[in-house]
Amino acid sequence: MPSTSGSLMLLDTPSLYFRAFYGVPESVTAPDGMPVNAVRGLLDFIGFLVERHRPARLVACMDADWRPAFRVALLPSYKAHRLAPTGGETVPDALTPQVPVIEALLDAIGIAHVGVAGFEADDVIATLTHRCTGPVDVVTGDRDLFQLVRDDKPVRIVYTARGVGKSEVVDEAGVTAKYGIPGRAYADFAVLRGDPSDGLPGVAGVGEKTAAALVSRFGDLDALTKALDSDDEAGFPAGTRNKLRAARDYLDAARVVVATRIDADVPKLDDALPTGIRDAEALLDLVQRYGVASPVQRLLTSLRITLPQPTDE
């Protein structure tokens, strides 16, 4: 399903380059032997997405802080399982040096990319989505961003969990069909159910079906906690009220942790899909240095741009 004319496409870039890194062999290297599997894979992903969806605007959103302090202060388990012994994120050694190469290539081509200190890519995406007055497509393999879907704008998720080539477009009806909850209620559902991939424990004894029933019954966590603080037993499955009361501190913290922020200080961007190469000299140098002529050419072809003086790999 192509994007609506004039749409903004926002890339959850870390989600995509991690997928590229694990999907393309590390034996794919630059002339000096440096692995460039994530670089090549990401460029091909972007080219495929542009060709399929034809957005008018495009931003590659980055993690300036993968585990923001404000989230950890509220919920210390947040992404704790991904902490390296040195305190940073556990990232394959071969991936780390590829991220600056990705950013340099995007700069040279003219594709906007941005991260904001103290915020995750998810927050950058949410902020740009909030600012945008037209249709938005968010490309991600992370279910957390399902909370952004809106049919009235619209905001859709291009969900890549089964692979970028097999991505599915998820709207509010899609979230409802999959989880049995109102389309915009995914964050509250995730708080109740939990998400081990983010170190989110959920409410003990509340699984997916009960979480869906609670969200469907009360609409959101505000209404649920208000009912929880009252003497009204209506709407709570047997035994659930006590479990929720025991987890009240967790509910108050996790709802802030899970909710994407819309106040990241994202600078004004030139996010128009490029119609020409921003810095051809820099691009040709990067192509030669890292041996990525083929994926760069495929991306430029999707952009309807010609690479001057093509360089063989």
Summarised one tens digit per residue, pLDDT across range 190-242 is: 999 999 989 999 999 999 999 999 999 999 999 999 999 887 778 888 889 99
Of 8-12, 105-109, 229-233, give the lowest mean pLDDT range: 229-233
| pLDDT, the chain, mean | 94
pLDDT score at 1? 54
Provide the CATH number for the domain formed by 8-180+262-302 in this structure: 3.40.50.1010
**Pair of tokens at residue 256:** 């802030």
pLDDT score at 310? 52
The answer as to CATH 1.10.150.20 being correct for domain 186-258 is yes
Average pLDDT over residues 245-261: 95
pLDDT digits (tens, 9 = 90+) for 138-188: 999 999 999 999 999 999 999 999 999 999 999 999 999 999 998 899 999
Indicate left, alpha or beta for 149 from its phi (over 0: left) and psi (-120 to 50: alpha). beta
For the chain, the domains span 8-180+262-302, 186-258
pLDDT score at 39? 98
Above 90 in pLDDT, residue 311?
no
pLDDT score at 11? 98
Full-model pTM: 0.94
pLDDT score at 151? 94
Q: What is the DSSP letter of 152?
A: T
Average pLDDT over residues 287-312: 87
